[in-house]
Amino acid sequence: MALLPELIQKYNKPVPRYTSYPTVPLWDGDLNSAKWEDLVRNAFQLIGKKDGVTLYIHLPFCESLCTYCGCNKRITKNHGVEDPYLESIIREWTHYLGLFEETPKIAGIHLGGGTPTFFSPQNLELLISKILKSSEILPDHEFSFEGHPNNTTYEHLEELAMLGFDRVSYGIQDFDLDVQKAIHRIQPFEKVKEATENARKLGYTSVNFDLIYGLPHQTLKTLNETFDQVALLRPDRIAFYSYAHLPSAFPAQKSFEDFLPNEQEKRALYEFGKEKLLTMGYEEIGMDHFALPGDSLCLAKKSGNLHRNFMGYTSSPSEMLIGLGASSISDIGLGFAQNEKRIEVYEELLKENKSPIIRGHIQTEEDRIARRLIMDLICKGNAAIPFWIWEKLPQKNLESLAEMEEEGLVERIGLTLTITTDGMAIVRNICSLFDLRMISSNSQKATFSKAI
């Protein structure tokens, strides 16, 4: 059943996406490079040695601007930027190797951006091979990358496949030409078809499509046509994201804001798309994510082993994520850290053998417990909430939960909270009621996208 219009209006408020807890704007920030290095050493002993290390590598360059995009990127056609940037990433990785004290086991690598396939196949091979030569690779590793269908060549796919990559995520967003023109991302269906078929020819076991609802000029008719084309290619996974409109942070979004659907229309787009996906045989994994039965995400959800981090939902057992590259974020269980966002400054710091870390957060015991229950709500749809957390909740939060229960969005039995099928539409709102950092701080200073 679709969420009632009055509930859409009530709950369509800015709240975190909870790819971390605490969410980045609410980090303490009391973290210098020496403290971070101590945390990394401890996390490697506690987590990394057993479960391995996962790497997120941020490759920020794009040849043209997609006006909807909220990622950290640099628009340029100058490919001379590739070499110095990759040299900086290798310097950063070499520094981490000195902290691990023994050869790390790699559980996963994800290349994100920007546009990773901005880089030549040869340069990507140079980067990844240097990392792999300094490490051991776990047998059940997951290597993935984000590709733009227009410039992900057969050579890119082939080179990365030889390095162990077997998962690729293509940013589709929408197939309608009017939508593509508005968001400045023109990519014909034939290019997507070619990129998808090339990946499968080369043995990629997982192809993901990123789709977005709430874009300018989208209607139920155009979205239906997009999903009909998606069905022809049948990707293994689909991320069906809500467009996040934050023109104060990303001014290019102002160019089309007069053509955006209203909140009721936007929610109808999601409900329609979700029903199409379920009819096509996909299973809902969690917030915005769907996969075919038998996919590792489906299996992880059923077994209760689904995780969520800055890369989204994952089935990887490793909870030690190291971010490399400008603006990358590391999540090592004991704390978080983010790199310098400005590319030239990031590169200069590493040339001078200085840490590129600009901010971070050391997890307290309270943070770890709150994080676990929020992750349980997002990944499992229910959580056993300790009594002391219930006691910490302000009266207004308890009243909000009681209202949600009356509205059929949550069910509470004792200390356990379960989110109903309808309630999953506002899972971010529900999680925010248990966000102890948000409760104790002035969250108005933070900028979040709307929940619906």
CB 98 within 8 A of CB 284: no
What is the distance between the alpha carbons of residues 222 and 245, in angstroms, rounded to a whole number? 20
Q: How far apart are CA 158 and CA 200, in angstroms?
A: 11
Structure tokens at 226: 């997009």
Kindly report the number of other CB atoms within 10 A of residue 65's CB atom.
14
Residue ranges of the alpha helices (H) in 114-262? 121-133, 154-162, 177-182, 189-201, 220-233
**Binding-site positions for [4Fe-4S] cluster:** 62, 66, 69
Residue stretches of the annotated binding site for S-adenosyl-L-methionine? 56, 68-70, 113-115, 146, 173, 185, 210, 244, 329
Binding residues, as ranges, are 56, 62, 66, 68-70, 113-115, 146, 173, 185, 210, 244, 329
Please state, in angstroms and rounded to a whole number, the distance separating the CA atoms of residues 325 and 248: 25
Start-end of H helices in 316-435: 343-351, 365-380, 387-392, 395-406, 427-432
- Token look-up 């082939």 returns 158
Q: How far apart are the C-alpha atoms of 410 and 303, rounded to whole Å?
A: 22
Q: What would the two tokens of residue 180 be?
A: 């593509």
Dist. CA 59–CA 61, nearest whole Å: 6
Query: Which among 150, 192, 145 has a CA at the least distance from the CA of 164?
Result: 145
- The answer to whether the beta carbons of residues 69 and 146 sit under 8 Å apart is no
Q: How far apart are CA 336 and CA 21, in angstroms?
A: 9
**Contact of 84 with 117, CB cutoff 8 Å:** no
